[in-house]
């Protein structure tokens, strides 16, 4: 069956329907990783989004239950240049899996043209539609989809009840506000001996402190951090009382909790090849990233001009810029000096991606032990 991609600005690209039948709408974004398509679609941070894969061949090594980032697919649909349904031993075919999970896809699309358009015009709403649907019908469906700005999606992926994960560990007790935590983050914390409690992101600071945590972890997740004032308020009441560390959305939430602001990026950072400079060591790490929002730097700047630590005042004392993105100079990490708190925008667990930054989990455990 034929299918087509339609963006809210009227851009159309045609292809072949794969995966589950039907249509899907959401924010159309792109991911530049060459592998890890299964990890990407099961990452809760892709909630309400349609992923365009820039790598031209997707599905060549099948799918496996061992590499999922959550129990279900969170991306609404996938756009590909060439989709394959290969099934190596002990795996399931990629397209068979999409069909079983009810996720539509489209193959045969000029993804290079689509990505260039998104880079020029910015990520926008759009959808995948069967060829027998009219553009007018498709446009109506797109217009009914809310904008990503101002959207609270964490409530859709947070657990309903606390989840305790100890696995015989005797290390520090870490309470995570679960806004959509990835399984690879959970595994990295457990591998370092942490006793982990995942709380709904609607939990209050009293709920968190009642767990008697040695540290609080702020997870990744979907949506606009500016729409999560209830979580920001909770974090604000925890800073200074217990060590706090955040990744991705958690980085944005911690920054907002100490008085900084966030903004929507033109087309986001999504992939496994983003260079980030550690300003303290001078080391450049190739990182995995998945976010559409970023933190404003000192003076409300969207780009950091110098490759050196920069300090600015927050509601909790001095903060220092620790990492900067070498693609667009955006804030990638922050360390607070007057309270035990830090965060990074990228994914040190790198599922999928390089492991250059996995040492940050060790640094976190050391920070907790020293507090």
> What are phi and psi for residue 26, nearest 5 degrees?
170, -170
Q: Provide the strand spans (E) within the chain.
A: 2-7, 12-19, 24-31, 49-53, 57-58, 77-79, 82-83, 104-107, 124-130, 163-165, 173-178, 195-200, 215-218, 244-247, 262-278, 284-295, 311-314, 317-325, 331-336, 341-344
Query: Would residue 349 show up in a list of annotated catalytic residues for this protein?
Result: yes
Enter the DSSP assignment of 315.
T
Enter the DSSP assignment of 2.
E
Between CA 114 and CA 200 the distance in angstroms is: 37
Residue 298 DSSP SS3: helix
End-to-end Cα, the chain, rounded Å: 60
Query: What are the DSSP calls for 252-269, one per residue?
Result: HHHHHHTT--EEEEEEEE
Query: Would residue 343 show up in a list of annotated catalytic residues for this protein?
Result: no
Q: Could you tell me if 15 and 108 are in contact, meaning their C-beta atoms sit under 8 angstroms apart?
A: yes
**CB environment 163-178: b (16+ within 10 A), e (fewer):** eebeeebebbbbbbbb
Active-site choice (201, 248, 255, 343): 248
Query: Would residue 359 show up in a list of annotated catalytic residues for this protein?
Result: no
Among all residues, which ones are annotated catalytic?
248, 347, 349
């Amino acid at each position: 069956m034929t299918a087509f991609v339609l963006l809210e600005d009227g851009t159309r690209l045609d292809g072949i329907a794969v995966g589950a039948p039907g249509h899907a709408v959401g924010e159309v974004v792109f991911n530049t990783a060459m592998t890890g398509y299964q990890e990407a679609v099961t990452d809760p941070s892709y909630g309400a989004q349609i992923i365009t894969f820039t790598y031209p061949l997707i599905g060549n090594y099948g799918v496996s239950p061992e590499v999922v980032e959550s129990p279900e697919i969170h991306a609404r649909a996938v756009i590909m240049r060439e989709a394959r349904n290969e099934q190596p031993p002990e795996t399931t075919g990629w397209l068979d899996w999409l069909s079983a999970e009810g996720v539509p896809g489209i193959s045969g699309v000029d993804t290079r043209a689509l990505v260039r358009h998104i880079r020029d015009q910015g990520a926008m709403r759009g959808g995948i539609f069967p060829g027998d649907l009219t553009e007018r019908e498709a446009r109506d469906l797109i217009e009914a989809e809310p904008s990503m700005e101002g959207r609270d999606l964490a409530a859709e992926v947070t657990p309903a009840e606390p989840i305790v994960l100890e696995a015989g560990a005797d290390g520090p007790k870490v309470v995570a506000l679960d806004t959509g935590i990835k399984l690879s983050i959970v595994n990295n914390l457990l591998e370092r001996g942490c006793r982990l409690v995942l709380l709904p992101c609607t939990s209050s600071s009293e709920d968190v402190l009642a767990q008697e945590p040695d540290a609080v972890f702020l997870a990744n997740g979907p949506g606009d951090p500016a729409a999560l004032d209830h979580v920001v308020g909770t974090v604000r009441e925890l800073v200074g009382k217990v060590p706090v560390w955040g990744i991705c959305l958690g980085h944005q939430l911690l920054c907002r909790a100490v008085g900084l602001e966030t903004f929507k990026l033109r087309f986001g950072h999504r992939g496994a090849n983003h260079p980030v400079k550690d300003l303290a060591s001078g080391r450049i790490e190739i990182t995995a990233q998945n976010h559409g929002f970023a933190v404003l730097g000192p003076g409300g700047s969207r780009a950091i001009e110098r490759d050196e630590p920069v300090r600015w005042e927050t509601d909790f004392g001095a903060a220092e810029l620790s990492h900067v993105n070498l693609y667009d100079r955006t804030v990638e990490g922050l360390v607070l000096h007057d309270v035990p708190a830090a965060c990074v925008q990228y994914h040190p667990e790198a599922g999928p991606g390089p492991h250059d930054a996995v040492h940050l989990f060790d640094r976190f455990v050391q920070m907790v032990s020293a507090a």
